[in-house]
């Protein structure tokens, strides 16, 4: 598949400059409840920040790390760094300090943009690795580090104090070409091996142009950003995409609770939002399933297709009101969504789009397009324009095989790991995703799970644990689950929705609560096994007392729970 866009000679700097000029008077970035900067004001700040970074000795190909929560200052720091040809190393705010120190040392970052909430993670960092620490929230940090710390405001102000001639010279962009690196992104994958993915300007620019063909966005749209910008999904779809179209971006700050999210939406009226499936699944279970479960008439109504659609349309309207009433797009990605939750969204007429991709592909490989009637529930839609996808060695009976991808969005490789790069990308440019999938007759891609997760029983049957987990997770009492093999039998480990369990057992003794849970697990096992073929039935369900450890996009780190 080819695309109509020509990526030759295009960089993210071209994107920034073009949008800031074309949409000069339009609002660009702001925190929730704050006045936004216009695109022209934003561009001036980017130029000033880039000039000051140059003045302090940052040069092309130097590494600049960003360890911070989302904010306009995060975005400015990124755009100023790439303007001078530096390479940005975005670090997920949820990474523990051991990972943060490893990344900063391995990447040899010269400058770190951070915040008060994150700064304690670098207390034990060897001082020689970073020349300058700049706090995006203008905090001064710990007294021990105060000498090395500068606030964002004071750093930016210094650019205005430079002599005019010098300031103008420093404002000139570096000679950056599309193949130059824009980012090095350290993943925290489900396999346990954190890799550093090298993404060029061409990779990211081409992918945002591909995403732009899935939905028509105008400069009057407002994107609400709640996922970390240090994750490629939010960066490309939640930042570069609205920026390309001159839309407004509102940052929620830290991950908002449902009540704070509702308050933000009521004030900011977002048109679009990127979410991980867990958010929509929680809304479906807590606000929809729980209400239906308590009402016999509603339960009966969901059994009749026409009444079900009518009921869900009504609920969908209330859900749109929760999000501010002007929502036109909810982009769901980062992990697989439960099929029942997705079916509800479709029946409710909710404006959602499912996407699939990897950090290694900048990240979008398949998704939508929005309102395509041929997209089936349970799929991730079609390959995006400009990207080729094929199934390697498909099973003759099922059509399932490893998903391979090729296109201008495929990474340059893994930082400092040429052998890993050669294993991942073949001589023809095909990237092995490590995911298993198949295409349906309408050209939609269906993801079946990770190739490393497949369980092969003694009978020779291939079990895709994710498919069983999806059925378990659709039970209202289950928060999350993991299916593993133990002595050639399948076991499910589950973490319950203890808010719901506590509500149901609030007048019971500890022993009665224990019996209640035992009864729940038995019922869940029977319900799920009733939907499974004999060879993939669950032999046992084991209750966990704490949530599973997950990645930034809420996928369980399976390797931690291998028998």
Checking 284-293 for CB contacts under 8 A at 24+ apart, the result is 284/338, 284/340, 284/341, 284/344, 284/345, 285/341, 285/476, 285/497, 287/315, 287/319, 288/312, 288/315, 288/344, 289/476, 290/476, 290/500, 293/476
| Cβ neighbours of residue 505 closer than 8 Å, sequence gap 6 or more | 512, 513, 516
pLDDT in tens, the chain (563 residues): 333 445 556 999 999 999 999 999 999 999 999 999 999 999 999 999 999 999 999 999 999 999 999 999 999 999 999 999 999 999 999 888 888 988 999 999 999 999 999 998 888 776 567 889 999 999 875 555 556 789 999 999 999 898 888 888 888 889 999 999 999 999 865 555 578 999 999 999 999 999 999 999 999 999 999 999 999 999 999 999 999 999 999 999 877 888 899 999 999 999 999 999 988 998 898 888 888 888 888 888 888 988 988 999 999 999 999 999 999 999 999 888 999 999 999 999 999 999 999 999 999 999 999 999 999 999 999 999 999 999 999 999 999 999 999 999 999 999 999 999 999 999 999 999 999 999 999 999 999 988 888 888 877 778 889 989 999 999 999 999 999 998 889 999 999 999 999 999 998 999 999 999 999 999 999 999 999 988 899 999 999 999 999 887 788 988 888 76
Q: What angle do CA 340, 445, 346 make, to 5 degrees?
A: 30
The rounded distance, in Å, linking the Cα atoms of 239 and 204 is 11
Write the DSSP assignment of 303-365 as a string of letters: TSHHHHHHHHHHHHHHHHHHTTS---EEEE-SSPPPHHHHHHHHHTT--EEEEEE-GGGSSEE
Q: Which pLDDT score, from 0 to 100, does residue 118 have?
A: 94
Alpha helices (H) in 247-304, listed in sequence order: 258-268, 277-283, 290-293, 296-301
Q: Which of 285, 297, 440 is nearest to 376 (CA)?
A: 440
Write the DSSP assignment of 191-204 as a string of letters: TS---EEEEEHHHH
CATH number belonging to the domain at 454-561, selected among 3.40.50.10320, 3.30.300.30, 3.40.50.300, 3.40.50.720: 3.30.300.30
Q: Which of 136, 83, 81 is nearest to 110 (CA)?
A: 81
C-alpha distance from residue 561 to each of 199, 486, 493, 495 (Å) = 31, 12, 10, 13
Estimate the crossing angle of helix 339-347 against helix 305-322, to 10 degrees: 90
229's tokens: 């910008």
Collapsed DSSP state (helix, strand, coil) of residue 283? helix
- Phi/psi at 120 (5° precision): -65, -20
> Do 72 and 291 contact (CB within 8 A), yes or no?
no
Establish how many alpha carbons lie within 13 A of residue 282's alpha carbon, considering only the half-sphere containing its beta carbon.
Answer: 13
C-alpha distance from residue 376 to each of 137, 334, 381, 405 (Å) = 44, 19, 7, 21
Q: Which pLDDT score, from 0 to 100, does residue 1 have?
A: 31
pTM of the model: 0.89
362's tokens: 């900048």
- Phi/psi at 377 (5° precision): -60, 135
- Phi/psi at 458 (5° precision): -60, -25
> Do 16 and 83 contact (CB within 8 A), yes or no?
yes
The rounded distance, in Å, linking the Cα atoms of 326 and 320 is 7
């Amino acid at each position: 598949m080819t695309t109509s866009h020509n990526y030759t000679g295009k960089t993210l700097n071209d994107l920034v400059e073009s949008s800031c000029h074309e949409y000069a008077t339009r609002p660009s970035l702001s925190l929730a409840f704050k006045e936004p900067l216009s695109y022209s004001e934003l561009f001036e700040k980017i130029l000033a920040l880039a000039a000051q970074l140059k003045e302090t000795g940052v040069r092309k190909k130097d590494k600049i790390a960003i360890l911070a929560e989302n904010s306009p200052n995060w975005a400015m720091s990124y755009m100023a760094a790439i303007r001078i040809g530096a390479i940005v190393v975005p670090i997920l705010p949820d990474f523990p300090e051991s990972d943060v120190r490893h990344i900063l040392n391995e990447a040899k970052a010269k400058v770190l943009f951070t915040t008060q909430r994150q700064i304690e993670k670098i207390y034990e960092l060897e001082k020689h690795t970073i020349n300058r620490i700049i706090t995006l929230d203008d905090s001064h940090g710990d007294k021990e580090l105060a000498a090395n710390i500068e606030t964002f405001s004071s750093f930016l102000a210094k650019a205005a104090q430079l002599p005019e001639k010098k300031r103008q010279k420093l404002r000139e962009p570096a000679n950056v070409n599309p193949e130059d690196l824009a980012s090095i992104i350290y993943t925290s994958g489900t396999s346990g091996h954190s890799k550093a993915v090298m993404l060029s300007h061409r990779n990211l620019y081409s992918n945002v142009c591909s995403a732009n063909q899935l939905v028509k966005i105008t400069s009057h749209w407002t994107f609400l950003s709640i996922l970390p910008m240090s994750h490629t999904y939010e960066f490309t779809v939640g930042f570069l995409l609205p920026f390309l179209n001159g839309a407004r971006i509102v940052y929620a700050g830290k991950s908002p609770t449902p009540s704070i999210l509702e308050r933000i939406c009521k004030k900011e009226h977002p048109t679009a939002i990127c979410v991980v499936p867990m958010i929509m699944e929680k809304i479906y279970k807590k606000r929809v399933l729980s209400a239906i479960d308590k009402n016999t008439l509603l339960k009966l109504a969901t059994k009749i297709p026409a009444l079900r659609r009518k009921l869900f349309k009504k609920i969908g309207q209330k859900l749109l009101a929760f999000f501010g009433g002007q929502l036109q797009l909810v982009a769901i990605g980062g992990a697989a969504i439960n099929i029942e939750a997705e079916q509800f969204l479709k029946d409710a007429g909710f404006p959602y789009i499912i996407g699939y991709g990897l950090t290694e592909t900048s990240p979008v490989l398949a998704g939508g397009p929005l309102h395509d009637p041929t997209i089936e529930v349970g799929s991730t839609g079609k390959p995006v324009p400009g990207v080729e996808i094929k199934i390697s060695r498909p099973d003759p009976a099922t059509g399932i095989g490893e998903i391979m991808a090729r296109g201008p969005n495929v990474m340059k490789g893994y930082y400092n790991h040429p052998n890993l790069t050669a294993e991942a990308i073949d001589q023809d440019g095909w990237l092995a995703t490590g995911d298993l999938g198949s295409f349906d007759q309408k050209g939609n891609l269906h993801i079946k799970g990770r190739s490393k997760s497949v369980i092969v029983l003694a009978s020779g049957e291939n079990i895709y644990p994710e498919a069983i987990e999806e059925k378990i997770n659709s039970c209202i009492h289950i928060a999350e689950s993991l299916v593993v093999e133990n002595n050639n039998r399948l076991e499910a480990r589950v973490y319950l929705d203890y808010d719901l369990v506590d509500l149901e057992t609030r007048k019971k003794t500890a022993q009665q609560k224990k019996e209640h849970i035992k009864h729940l697990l038995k019922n869940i096992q029977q319900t799920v096994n009733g939907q499974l073929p004999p060879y993939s039935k669950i032999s046992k369900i084991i209750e966990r007392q704490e949530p599973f450890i997950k990645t930034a996009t809420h996928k369980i780190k399976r390797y931690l729970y291998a028998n």
